[in-house]
Chain A
Amino acid sequence: MSLTKLLIIWPGSPVLSMLIWIVVLVVLLYLARTPAHKAIYSLSRVIRNAFRLMSKSVLLAEEKLVQRNKEVLLTAGMESVERLIEREFHRVNAVVKRDLSGYPSLHQALSDQTTRIDEDYRESSEVPPPPPGWVKAVEAVANLPSQDSTVANILNEIHKTTVSQYKSAMEEYRKSMAVRHTLLKKMMPYWRKLSQTLEHVGKTITGLHERANVIDNRMKEYEDIRAHSDKSARMLTASSLTQFFISALVLLIAIGGAVINFNLIALPMSEMVGGGSYIGSFKTSNVAAMVIILVEVAMGLYLMESLRITRLFPIIGQMDDKMRTRMIWITFSILLILASVEAALAYMRDQIASDMQALRQSLAAVESTAGVVNSWIPTVGQMVMGFVLPFALTFVAIPLESFVQSSRTVIGVVGAGMLRWLAFVLRLLGNIGHYLGELLVNLYDLFIFPPLWVENLIRDKRHQPDIIVEEEI
C-alpha cells in the first residue's frame, strides 16, 4: 500500500482528504504551539550563542596575532635601528680616527704658526720717536730778555740743526716702516695657513655635529620603539609593506634573470647528461640546469652572508673574521667556477643550435644563408651573459632577506584581517540564526492562524465585561 493511498481518508475525493489532513495538522500544531515556540527559541539561542562564542574566540586569536605581529615588528625595527646607530657610530669613529687623531700635531702646528706670527708682529711694532730735547733749549733761548741779534743767530742755528735732524729722522723712520711692512708681508702666508687649518677643523667639527644629530634622531626612534608606541608600530608596518612590494618586484626581476640563465644552459646540459633521460616527468638536463642555477643562488646567499650584507644565517655572521674570510673566498671561487662553466655551456649552446639549424635547413632542402648574421656577436653575447648572470643572481640575497622579513609582517597583517572578517561573519551568522528563529515562530503562528484567531475572539469576549465593570466602579 502506497503512502498516497494511506493519506486519502475520504476515498474518491483527494481534495477533501487533503483538507481534513490540513485541519488535523493545524489543530495539532496549535496544541503544540507553546513547546514548539520554546524549542525554536532555544534552537535559535543555541545557534546565536555558539556563533558568538566562536566569534569571540576568533577575536581573541586575532588580538593575540596582532600582539605577536607588533612584537615581531618592533623587534625587527629595533634591530634595524640598532644597525643604523651602529653604522653611524662607526662613521663617527672613522672621522675621529682620521681627523682628530692628528689633533696633537695640529695643535703643535697651530701654536708654531701663532708664535711665528707673534714674533713677526712684535718685530713690526712701531718704535716711538725720541722725545724732542731741543724744544726745551729753544724755549730757554726764546726766554732771554735781550734783543740781541745773537739770539736770532742761535735760533737760526737751532732751526738749521732741527731741519737736518728732521730729515735724518724721517729717513730712518721710512726705513723702519719699510722693514715693518716687509715683516707684515712675510706674515701673510702664515695667516692663510692658519685660516685653512682652522677651516679644516671647522669642517670636521661640523661633520661630527651632523652625525651627532643623525644619531640623536635614531636614538629618539629607538626609544619610541622601545616604548612600544603605536606610532612607531604603524610606521614600521607601512615601511615593511613597502619593503615587501619592492623586494617582491626585485625578486620577480631576478626570477626573469634565472629563467634566461636556465634557457642558456638547459640545451648544452643535454650534451652532458643526455637528452632523453628523465627524473620524474622532467628532463634530466633541465633538472641539472636548474640545480646549477640554484647552487649559484645558494653560493650568492653564502657570499652575501659572509660579507655581512645580509643576516639570513646567524651562524655565518657569528663566525670569527678569519673563518668568514675563508668562506668568502671559497664561495667566490665556486661562483667563479660556475660562471666559467656557464660561459662554456653558453658557447656550446650556440654550437649545438647552429648545428641543429644547419640540419633543419638540410632537411628542408633550403640553401644555407651564410653571412647574413655575423655569428660571433651572439656567441660572445651568450658567453658574457652566461658569465655575468651567476654574479648578478648573487645579489638576490638582499631582496630575498627583505622579502622574508617583511613577509612575516605582511602575513601577520593579512592573517589578522582575515580573522577579523571571520569573527564578523560568525557574529553575523549568529544574528541571522537568532532572527531566523523569530521568523520561524511567526511563520508557525501564521500557519495556525484560524485557531489563534478563534482563541483571540474568545479571550476578547471574556475580557470585555471585566473592563466595563472596572469602568463602572
Chain B
Amino acid sequence: MKKLLTLILFASMLLWGCADTTTHTRGVYMLLDTSGTYKKELKRAEAIINYLLGTLQPGDTLAVARIDSGSFSEKDIVAKMTFDQRPSVANQQKRLFKEKVDEFVTTAKGSAFTDITGGVLQSVEYLNESGAGKKYILIFSDLKEELVKGHVRNFPIQVDGCNVVALNVTKLRSDNVDPREYYKRVTDWQARVEAGGGSWRVVNDLERLDSILES
C-alpha cells in the first residue's frame, strides 16, 4: 500500500512538473474609428469581426470598442467576451457577440474627435487583465488622431508583448495632396508602438485577413 501511494505521489509530481505554465489563449481587442467620414467603413469592420469570431478558439478573448472623443473608458467597449472552454457554449457566445456588433454597426453615431491613444491604453489594460498568452490590438482607423482640447496624449505608451495591427488605414484627401502626411502618420505610430515594447504591422488588404493574427 505504501509503495502504491509513493508511486501515485511520484506520478502526480511528474505530471505536475509537465504542466504547461504558459497560456496558449489569444486576446484580441479591436478599436473601431467612428469619427466623421470613417464611420462609413464600419461595414468592413463588421466583416473583420466576423472573421475573428470564426477564427478564435474556445478560451480566447475578444473585445470590440469604439474610438470617439475620449476612448480611455470602459463605456466605449461595444462587446467583450472570453469564450467558454466548451466549443458548443463558445459558439452560442459568438452568436451573441455578433448580435451586439450588428446592433452597434447599425446604430453607431459619428464622433467629432478621434482619441486613438486613449483606446490603445484601454485595450492594453483590458488585455493584460484577461491573461491572454498572445495579445493583439487591432486599430481599424485612418490613424489621424484629433483630440479634444485639454486631453493629454503625447506621452509614451506601454504596449509590452502586444501585436498592434493597423487595419484599413485609408488615405485622406489631404494625403493625396501630400502623401508624406500618410507615411508620417504610419511611421509615427510605428515608432510609438515599438518604443512601447510592442510590434507593429499594417494590413490594408482586407482580402488577406488570415495575416491579422500572425505573430
Contact = CB atoms under 8 A, between A and B. Distances in A.
Contacts of B51: 363
Given A270-B86, A362-B95, A363-B50, A275 B20 contact: no
B94 A274 contact: no
B46 to A, nearest CB: 9
Interface stretch (A105-113, A353-361, A387-395): A353-361
A281 B58 contact: no
A359 B85 contact: no
A275 B50 contact: no
Nearest to B25: A276
Contact of B85 (A276, A356, A364, A365): A276
A274 B20 CA distance: 15
A271 B85 CA distance: 7
B94 A359 contact: yes
A280 B87 contact: no
Contacts of A278: 20, 24
A33 B136 CA distance: 77
A279 B24 CA distance: 10
B109 to A, nearest CB: 24
A86 B20 CA distance: 54
B59 interface: yes
A270 B58 CA distance: 9
A359 B54 contact: yes
Contacts of A294: none
A349 to B, nearest CB: 10
B184 to A, nearest CB: 36
Given A355-B91, A362-B98, A274 B18 contact: no
Interface in A362-376: 362-365
B54 A275 contact: no
Interface string B13-35: 00000111000110000000000
B60 interface: yes
A270 B87 contact: yes
Contacts of A365: 50
A354 B176 CA distance: 48
Contact of B98 (A270, A271, A279, A363): A363
Given A270-B58, A356-B91, A359-B91, A280 B85 contact: no
B206 to A, nearest CB: 14
Contacts of A280: 18, 20
A277 interface: yes
B90 interface: yes
Contacts of B94: 359, 363
Nearest to B90: A275
Given A271-B86, A362-B98, A364-B50, A276 B91 contact: no
Contacts of A275: 57-59, 85-87, 90
A212 interface: no
B53 interface: yes
B43 to A, nearest CB: 11
A359 B20 CA distance: 31
B35 to A, nearest CB: 26
A440 interface: no
Contacts of A351: 88
Nearest to A274: B85
A271 B87 contact: yes
B24 A274 contact: no
Given A270-B58, A356-B91, A277 B85 contact: yes
A267 interface: yes
A352 interface: yes
Indicate the member of A281, A351, A359, A360 with the most B CB atoms within 10 Å: A359
Interface in B147-204: none
B25 A279 contact: no
Contact of A274 (B50, B53, B58): B58
B95 A359 contact: yes
Contacts of A267: 87
Contacts of B98: 362-363
A276 B24 CA distance: 7
B20 A281 contact: yes
A379 B174 CA distance: 59
A277 B18 contact: no
Given A276-B58, A278-B24, A359-B54, A271 B88 contact: yes
Nearest to A356: B91
A125 B54 CA distance: 105
Contacts of A271: 86-88
A362 B95 CA distance: 9
Contacts of A356: 87, 91
Interface string A255-282: 0000000000001001100111111110
B71 to A, nearest CB: 26
Contact of A355 (B18, B58, B88): B88
Contacts of A362: 95, 98
A276 B18 contact: no
Contacts of B87: 267, 270-271, 275, 352, 355-356
Indicate the member of A270, A276, A356, A363 with the most B CB atoms within 10 Å: A276
Q: Which 5 A-B pairs have the closest CB atoms?
A: A276-B59, A274-B85, A275-B58, A363-B50, A278-B20
Given A276-B83, A352-B88, 5 more contacts: A274-B85, A276-B59, A281-B20, A355-B87, A356-B87
12 contacts: A270-B87, A274-B85, A275-B85, A276-B24, A276-B85, A277-B59, A279-B18, A280-B20, A356-B91, A359-B91, A359-B94, A363-B51
